[in-house]
Amino acid sequence: MAKCIGVLTAGGDSPGLNAAIRAIGNSGLKAYGMRVIGFRDGFRGLMENRCIPLEGDILSGILTLGGTILGTSRDKPHKMPVGDKVQDMTEVMIDNYRRHNLEALVCIGGGGTQKNAYRLSQLGMNIITLPKTIDNDVAVTDITFGFDTALSIATDAIDRLHSTAHSHHRIIVVEIMGHNTGWLGLGAGLASGADVILIPEIPYDVKQVAEAIRRRRHRGKNFSIVAISEGALSQEDAETLVKLQEEKRAAKEEKDAKQRKKVDTALEEFRLRQATNTLRLSRELEKLTGLESRVTILGHLQRGGTPSAADRILATRLGVACAEAIHDQRFGCMVAVKGEGTILVPLSEVVGKLKLVPLDHPWVRAALETGACLGNARY
């Protein structure tokens, strides 16, 4: 009997997901004679046993489509909202995995999905993962699919903001996604020639930013583009966050439930305040420079629409390598990108790590040496 493999897409959607699904389905069937089924809406579909066969017409015409034909969700197997409760539904998922007599389950996702998939693999399921996210922050892989498309969208958006900023002699502060890393913000800022680029890896000093804008003004440039990653922090906020995280760690170690609750509340307040960071920065820059400032939050535009050629190729390569790995019985691994090739990395080496922008990365140097301000006097 043909082996059956399951596929699900979890976490935020990312351009290239359908290319990966198509590659797994086609390569699985054509090269290895495997039957492939897809679970809807991430781990929730596995729990609810909602699935479709991934073959024939369903895989046709999807290579160029954004989003995911399977749907996605951020639901975690061990913390699944069911009715008005949040429950551990892992056992139900293991039952469904067995019911379909799956040879393997492919989980396509970012850092959170890798963690959830690893938990399932530790419970005996044959798991293999692919790295996707527009944030490009998954450890051990050179790149994740979705990043290239989002980078082009953000770059194009900043290009467009340039002419209006220039015409109105304004500052435009443009917020770019990326969660807690600056790959997208730095890449788009660099590609579009943003005057200021602020990323989470380099806490900024608003005075340095204002000074850079004032210097431009003295050179006759009455407008500036500030590209800020959504996770970028001012130096003061970065210090506060480190302090709160240390307090949380200590409260955990000392098993001090009251203190832990207090720190959790403080962290939640910090996050709420952080959500308005870009607006507050814009207002402060107006005060410090005397220029008018506007904010553009690119948001989910960066995740939508047609995947770039590079992402289609990358997702297809990863999907094909995934089918081969299943055929070779290689489980508990992520198919990672290494140069022109792919390698299988044990999930234990992937989870719990964040791929930050290294401060000596060539993009950082290129931004600085072409005159961008990174908001910090040390750079």
**Positions in the binding site for ligand F6P (CB under 6 A):** 12, 74, 110, 133-135, 177-179, 230, 303
Instruction: State which residue, 29 or 174, has the beta carbon closest to ligand F6P.
Output: 174
Q: What is the distance between the alpha carbons of residues 145 and 322, in angstroms, rounded to a whole number?
A: 14
Q: Which of 135, 148, 195, 311 is catalytic?
A: 135
Please state whether 266 falls in left (phi above 0), alpha (psi between -120 and 50) or beta: alpha
Q: How far is the CB of 90 from ligand F6P (least distance, A)?
A: 22
State the first-to-last Cα distance of the chain, in angstroms, to the nearest integer.
61
Instruction: State which residue, 201 or 230, has the beta carbon closest to ligand F6P.
Output: 230
Instruction: State which residue, 111 or 332, has the beta carbon closest to ligand F6P.
Output: 111
Q: Which residues contact 42 (CB under 8 A, 6 or more apart)?
A: 8, 9, 10, 11, 71, 72, 73, 74, 75, 109, 113
Question: Is 135 a catalytic site residue?
Answer: yes
Q: How far is CA 145 from CA 116, 134, 334, in A?
A: 19, 7, 13
Q: Measured at the alpha carbon of residue 373, what is the angle toward residues 372 and 374, in degrees to the nearest 5?
A: 115
Q: How far is the CB of 255 from ligand F6P (least distance, A)?
A: 32
User: For the chain, where are the E strands, in sequence order?
Assistant: 4-9, 35-39, 51-53, 80-82, 85-87, 102-109, 127-131, 170-176, 196-198, 224-229, 292-297, 333-338, 341-346
Question: In 3-state terms, what secondary structure has residue 138?
Answer: strand
Q: Which residue is nearest to ligand F6P (CB)?
A: 177
Q: Return the closest-CA partner of residue 315 out of 72, 141, 79.
A: 141
- The encoded tokens of residue 227 equal 């590209």
Q: How far is the CB of 144 from ligand F6P (least distance, A)?
A: 10
Q: How far is the CB of 237 from ligand F6P (least distance, A)?
A: 17
Question: In 3-state terms, what secondary structure has residue 350?
Answer: coil
Contact between 365 and 155 (Cβ < 8 Å): no
Q: How far is the CB of 114 from ligand F6P (least distance, A)?
A: 12
Q: How far is the CB of 251 from ligand F6P (least distance, A)?
A: 26
Q: Which residues are catalytic?
A: 135
